Amino acid sequence: MPTLDEALAFIKGNALFTGPWDQHLPRRKARVRAILKVISRSFDARRCATGTVNVGKYDACAKVKFACGLRGNLRNSIDEYRQPVVGQAVHVGPSFIGVFLAVAEFALLIDRNGDGSLPHRRAEELSDCLYAKGLISVKFDARKWAVCRDELEKHGIIEIVDRNYGHGQAMKWAPGTFFPFLGLWKKPRQPSPLGPVDLASFLAGRRGETTGEHHTLSQTQSSRAAVSDCWPLSRPSPRRIRHS
């Protein structure tokens, strides 16, 4: 937990206050002290982030892979008057896609939730924090975030494990087969059923040599007979007899 002085320094350094700083300073200290007291009741250091968002890591990749951006249609919905609303077409540029991948990497690999979920609110808070610090140039947009999620799932970059969501429940995500820089698309090489082959033995086999007895005519004939028993040889075509 931060101390009162650390909390005040954070608020002042990030301009999270209104009016002159010295105005009503005692009242501000009392309010921050009360806020820290409430936070301390449920604060758990084990749930703090263990890394940072790799800003800019996926910008070049997004510009190459999605130079023209992504286009998607939002799902149809119902307004407050129970009237159907047709989903609008949304275009997402490469800059937003790069931020999306950076936030997804942080939430799915670096500081993943225990249940594998990525709440919409968490993604928004991360993006807003990065934008407030000047680390990214695009603001969070809920519509663009939804389009990125659905379209990048089609490309195999992310995978939505469970789409069920509601009060207190968020969708569960996982990195897709083609998530950049992970190499998940590479399948491990399967071992040969014949086992390892010595190079000398392989070359000897190509030359027709054997390590045991020499080939004999009887062995060749028996081999041919065994083959002919399993796969009967086709009969030659009958000769045509010409009548004079």
For residue 40, being part of any structural domain is answered with yes
Q: Looking at the structure, tell me whether residues 66 and 170 fall in a common domain.
A: yes
Identify the residue with better confidence: 107 or 188.
Answer: 107
DSSP-assigned letter for residue 193? T
**Would 190 be classed as within a structural domain?**
no
What is the model's pLDDT at position 52? 86
- Chain centroid to Cα 59, Å, comes to 16
**Residue 152: what residue type?**
L
Give mean pLDDT, residues 25-30. Answer: 92
What mean pLDDT is predicted for residues 134-145? 93
Contact call for residues 165 and 171 (beta carbons, < 8 A): yes
Same domain for 88 and 144? yes
9/74 same-domain check: no
Region 191-201: mean pLDDT is 67
- Residue 189 belongs to a domain: no
Boundary-marking domain end, from 175, 202, 218: 175
- 37 belongs to a structural domain: yes
Which pLDDT score, from 0 to 100, does residue 222 have? 47
Between CA 127 and CA 133 the distance in angstroms is 10
Range with top average pLDDT, 8-17, 110-119, 201-210, 227-236: 110-119
The domain boundary residue, chosen from 175, 203, 236: 175
User: Do 41 and 66 belong to one domain?
Assistant: no
Q: Determine the pLDDT at residue 13.
A: 82
Number of domains in the chain: 2
**Same domain? 21 vs 60:** no
The mean pLDDT of the chain is: 80
Taken in order 194, 207, 216, 230, the sign of the CA dihedral is positive
Identify whether residues 60 and 162 lie together within a single domain: yes
Q: Which domain holds residue 119?
A: 54-175
Claim to verify: residue 111 and residue 25 sit in the same structural domain: no
pLDDT of residue 80: 54
- Asked if residue 106 has pLDDT above 50, the reply is yes
Of the two residues 67 and 201, the one the predictor is more confident about is 67
Whether residue 163 is contained in a domain is answered as yes
Average pLDDT estimate for 23-48: 83
With cut-offs at 50, 70 and 90, classify the pLDDT of residue 244. Answer: very low
Task: Tell me whether residue 229 is in a domain.
Answer: no
What pLDDT, on the 0 to 100 scale, is given for residue 46?
Answer: 60
pLDDT at 228 over 50: no
Backbone dihedral angles phi then psi of residue 34, each to the nearest 5 degrees:
-65, -35
